[in-house]
């Protein structure tokens, strides 16, 4: 999905819950950072409900074919000239229409996608000109052998870009919607220094 740009000329004041300045050095050296308790209980419930609704529309086989990714906007008929590509409110309208879910909370998603996350990403990347690129859920079907394999988002998202070196850097924001532990298949993040010179298959 093409980026959706904010139109404000000056950076907005970050919500109180999104101040991550102490973690910026960790992000700069490791390439990732964990921000605990970012979502409110109500935000988490809405995301869980929407994810469950999207999952219920698919079969386990189709989810496996899609690499465990549930992208509700992947089939959205959005032209290059659509305002939804550059205006957040229009994107949210298109999102609500496309997902056809009773769990859509426009105000919550507006706050999360276009206030909370940009505020955090802006601090981590020392930039106030933030763009929204894509959103999706990752769901591994129960009692299956489907693997959400090791990868770098940069390789997956930018693989088809001709002028890749000219594209500004970006961050991926992941949030576990279920309680996770090492034994139940949680995503594992690897630091930049640990990745250097390592065999990807063993990470």
| Number of domains present in the structure of the chain | 1
**CA-to-CA distance for 36 and 46, rounded, in angstroms?**
18
**CA-to-CA distance for 77 and 79, rounded, in angstroms?**
7
For 182, residues 6+ apart whose C-beta sits below 8 A from its C-beta are none
Quick count: other Cβ atoms within 10 Å of Cβ 119?
21
Q: What is the pLDDT of residue 11?
A: 44
Residue 107: which domain range?
17-197
Do residues 130 and 122 lie in contact, with contact meaning Cβ atoms separated by under 8 Å? Answer: yes
Q: Using the 8-state DSSP alphabet, how is residue 141 labeled? A: P
Is residue 84 exposed (0-12), middle (13-18) or buried (19+ Cβ within 10 Å)? Answer: buried
**CA-to-CA distance for 119 and 126, rounded, in angstroms?**
10
Over residues 177-202, the pLDDT tens digits come to: 987 777 766 666 676 666 555 555 44
Task: Write out the two tokens for 75.
Answer: 């089939």
Over residues 129-166, the pLDDT tens digits come to: 888 888 999 988 887 777 767 677 777 777 777 777 78
Q: What is the pLDDT of residue 15?
A: 56
Does residue 45 form part of some domain? yes
Does residue 1 form part of some domain? no
Does 117 have pLDDT greater than 60?
yes
Position 127 confidence tier, pLDDT thresholds 50, 70, 90 = confident
The pTM is what? 0.76
Does residue 141 form part of some domain? yes
Does residue 26 form part of some domain? yes
Does residue 132 form part of some domain? yes
Q: What is the pLDDT of residue 18?
A: 66
Does residue 77 form part of some domain? yes
Among residues 157, 7, 10, the alpha carbon closest in space to that of 86 is found at: 7
Do residues 1 and 133 lie in contact, with contact meaning Cβ atoms separated by under 8 Å? Answer: yes
Over residues 1-55, the pLDDT tens digits come to: 333 444 444 444 555 556 777 788 888 888 888 888 889 999 999 999 999 999 9
Does residue 131 form part of some domain? yes
Does residue 11 form part of some domain? no
Q: Name the percent of the chain lying above pLDDT 90.
A: 25
């Amino acid at each position: 999905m093409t980026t959706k740009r904010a139109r404000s000329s000056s950076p907005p004041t970050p919500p109180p819950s999104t101040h991550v300045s102490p973690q910026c050095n960790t992000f700069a050296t490791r390439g990732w950072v964990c921000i605990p308790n970012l979502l409110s209980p109500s935000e988490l419930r809405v995301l869980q409900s929407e994810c469950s609704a999207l999952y219920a529309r698919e079969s386990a086989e189709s989810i496996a074919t899609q690499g465990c990714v549930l992208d509700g906007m992947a089939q959205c008929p959005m032209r290059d000239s659509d305002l939804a590509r550059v205006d957040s409110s229009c994107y949210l309208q298109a999102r609500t229409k496309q997902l056809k879910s009773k769990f859509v909370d426009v105000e919550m998603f507006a706050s999360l996608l276009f206030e909370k996350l940009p505020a955090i990403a802006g601090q981590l990347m020392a930039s106030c000109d933030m763009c929204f690129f894509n959103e999706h859920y990752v769901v591994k079907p129960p009692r299956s052998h489907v693997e959400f394999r090791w990868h770098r988002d940069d390789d997956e998202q930018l693989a088809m870009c001709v002028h890749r070196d000219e594209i500004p850097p970006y961050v991926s924001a992941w949030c576990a919607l279920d309680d996770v532990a090492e034994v139940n298949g949680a995503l594992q993040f690897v630091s930049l220094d640990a990745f250097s010179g390592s065999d990807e298959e063993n990470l």
